Chain A
Amino acid sequence: MNRRLLIKESRTYYQRYYRLVALAVVLMMMVLTGSLVLGDSVRGTLTDRVSERLGSAETIVATGTNFMSNDIMQSPLMANARGYLLVDGFLSDGGQLIPVYVWGTDCDSVPYGEAIINQPLADKLHLDLSASAEGWDGALHLPSHTLVPSGSLFVTKSYATQMRLHVSAVKDVKSGGNLLLKNEQTLPLNVFVNREQLAEVMELEGKINIIMSDDILQEDALAEVWTPEMSGIHSRGNTLTTDRIFIQDDIVLKLNPEAKYFSYLVNDIINATDTVPYSFVTAVTEWQGSPLTGREMLLSDYAAAHLHVAKGDSVRMSYFLSKDLKRLETREQRFLVKDIVPLEALVADSLLQTEFPGLSNVERCTDWDSDLPIHMDRIHKEDEDFWYKYHQTPKALVAYDAVSEDWGSGFGTATALVLSDDGARDLTMSDAGVMVIHPREDGIYAAQHGTDFSSLFLALGFFIILSAVLLMQNVLEEMYIQRADEIGVYRHLGYTQQNIRGMLIREACGVIAVAATIGVLPGVLYSSVTLWLLGNVWSGATHTEGFALHFSIVTVLISWVIGIVICLISLLYVINKQIKQGV
């Protein structure tokens, strides 16, 4: 005979109460464990997804809107790195265009003309490549002229470049099919193509814009192997131009050049009734040693002849303001013809000429490919003849300061620079827009420290937990009221309050502990069902491809302990209340 036996007998005798208590505890544990496991699962899935979308990459070198020469991949630093030419594009499937990421890669031995897609894209296309050996044929629509950032003035934003491809295989998640650089939960739609083919089609031969390395590369180490030339910044002698045409203002400011050049396509140069339409004009701070200031202009003899002006006359010039390309505004300025210069002298100076993609590389003005509203009917034979002979040779030079505000934009404020010395050496990678990112830590940090899903689900289940606790408290209270006499008897027989409280607690704790342990199972079930709902029925609300159950013993243990603590607190509360009333 001992107290344990008494406790056991009492528990059995009052089992009709304890069955309800157990039910309440199981219910509470179900929601509690379920919520915590749900939180774990969401976090775990997001963490997995970080690994999926980054593959094994520890370092990403991104070149922003610029490109980088593939030569950098020859560096020993890049032993475990892969260079990609990554562009966005559209895959046409029947009538619809699917936005995709196009990865030009050397690594996946994608043969010329072939393409590999990832599983989400295959799902989207309803492709089952394992079944049909033939593969799938489609066309990619790629952006035109991407060497110059899309959106810059004169550069078309259209996706006119087409690339036919034959999808031969699906790249699964494990082999990096879901590569994605953005820190997003949605699964990307990826097309992997032969890099050389993509570069050829887009006229980006030898260019890449993403490097992914399995090593942790520091910016300093990369800076050792990087040269401005790799980022398409060309310095010949003391001049500087860039593949992206427009030299960004911070580079201009940093290099503090001796002379600045800015080529522009102006709408009209006008003198009274004579007009020269659509001419290239270059703004210069100085030319051939003499500065151009105020509203001064050097006019080519070609234009002077057409406009019937002489040195000392003034002409008007109209052009689009480049600040807001959506609301194209035209501005007109009057310039003083400081001198008439021979066109040959302008042809001879290559700094004055800029090769705008879509404009420079065509035979005739009417072939110009630009998003600007160019009225082709205003272009006459003499203009075509000029273009055929001299292309983008400027017909006039104007003072840089007079137009730089109007022509400059975020894309740049010059098209060529003359430096006092070899100042391009001072340019750093970040000046050229190259970013070195260590995405894993960031991504995992974001996945782990984003929304606290455990709390979220706990909040959603709060009322169930509360109801369960209240149910338990009510049942216990009812039982202790029933047993008030019994508590009195113990006191009369010489039991201390502690004795009595201890026995009642042990009696209920046995039930609570067992029920809490049993409750873990429906808890895991609860989270599985919720995860299934989130991935299927409610998938619209989450914009993800569902979550996998991530279930750790520690979490279950934590929820078990939390559950027990909650139960103990409510139990103690009820018992103390009852014993006090009994005194």
Chain B
Amino acid sequence: MLQLNNITKRFQDGERERTVLDGLSLTVDDGAFIAITGESGAGKTTLLSIMATLLDADAGVYTIDGTPVASMDLSQVRNKQIGIVFQDHRLLPQFTAVQNVLLPVLAQQAECPKATYERALQLMEWMGIRALEKTPVGVLSGGEKTRVAICRALINNPKVLLADEPTGQLDSDNAHTIASLFQKVNSELHTTIVMVTHSDAMASVAHKVYRLENGKLEVRG
């Protein structure tokens, strides 16, 4: 269970300060599938970054299963508990698709066990990109990149999958495919999903939809 309590985040914008998150609170139960919408610049990526421990809140407490993240080994949290799909994928161009997928594995050990490699291939099969195993990611399409990024986020079996506009640059066909994949991940792998999206199609597959406005979350459906 993720719990955000009274989270405030400000950014220095030139001379003046901008409060992006303003006393925001959110509880994400295990197995939940929530979507967050909001206007561009509302602070969705900021919120997701705080949840991914990539950004510190200025005020408020963020706990995972009751433990404040401030007291946790962050690289362990990032590696094991949370998988993240970035808005811009952030795949490393020098590696092949499968190598990108396996990057989180090699953070903990120098050698990737054969079983883990097999798992990566299974995940890719599941995501429909098994054939791209040895393809350098530079040549992949946007949808393929998103799927590689999802596989990478899931490779260590995280409790929570955070996704920042996974369908942002995709056409609606692709968006639908990704949406159903997320549904599958949530229902079959029981992975908690927090997803930022503009797309109604995506939001419709979530159990709960929030809207981020004025630094706070409102339930929409």
Contacts and interface: CB of A to CB of B under 8 A. Distances in A.
A489 B90 contact: yes
B111 A495 contact: no
Contacts of A14: 94
Contacts of A495: 75, 79, 107
Interface of A: 1-6, 9-10, 12-14, 485-486, 488-496, 499
Nearest to B120: A1
Given A1-B112, A2-B110, A3-B110, A494 B78 contact: yes
B110 A493 contact: no
B106 A3 contact: yes
Interface in B117-133: 117
Contacts of A13: 93-94
B103 A493 contact: yes
B104 interface: yes
Contacts of A499: 107
Given A1-B112, A492-B78, A494-B79, A6 B90 contact: no
B147 to A, nearest CB: 17
Give the interface centre of B102, B106, B110 by most chain A CB atoms within 10 Å: B106
A347 to B, nearest CB: 110
B95 interface: yes
Nearest to A493: B104
Given A2-B112, A493-B104, A494-B104, A9 B80 contact: no
8 contacts: A1-B99, A9-B99, A13-B94, A489-B103, A492-B84, A492-B86, A494-B77, A496-B107
B92 interface: yes
B217 interface: no
A494 B94 contact: no
A12 B54 CA distance: 29
Interface residues of B, number: 30
Interface string B71-93: 00001111110001010001011
Main secondary structure of the interface of A (DSSP, over half): helix
Contacts of B108: 494
A1 B106 contact: yes
A459 B108 CA distance: 46
Contact of B95 (A2, A6, A496): A6
B52 interface: yes
Contact of B106 (A2, A491, A492): A2
Contact of A9 (B79, B94, B102, B112): B94
Interface in B20-75: 52, 54, 75
A493 B94 contact: no
Give the interface centre of A6, A10, A12, A485 by most chain B CB atoms within 10 Å: A6
Nearest to B153: A493
B199 to A, nearest CB: 24
Contacts of A9: 94-95, 99
Shortest 5 CB-CB contacts between residues of A and residues of B: A494-B79, A13-B94, A1-B112, A494-B78, A494-B107
A82 to B, nearest CB: 71
Interface in B148-184: 152, 156
Contacts of B90: 485, 488-489, 492
A528 to B, nearest CB: 41
B24 to A, nearest CB: 22
Given A494-B76, A494-B107, A1 B94 contact: no
A4 B99 CA distance: 12
B102 A1 contact: yes
Give the interface centre of B77, B92, B105 by most chain A CB atoms within 10 Å: B92
A322 B204 CA distance: 124
A494 B80 contact: yes
B83 to A, nearest CB: 9
B131 to A, nearest CB: 18
A1 B76 CA distance: 21
A3 B95 CA distance: 12
Contacts of A10: 94
B124 to A, nearest CB: 14
A14 B92 CA distance: 12
A492 B53 CA distance: 9
Nearest to A14: B94
Given A1-B102, A1-B112, A493 B107 contact: yes
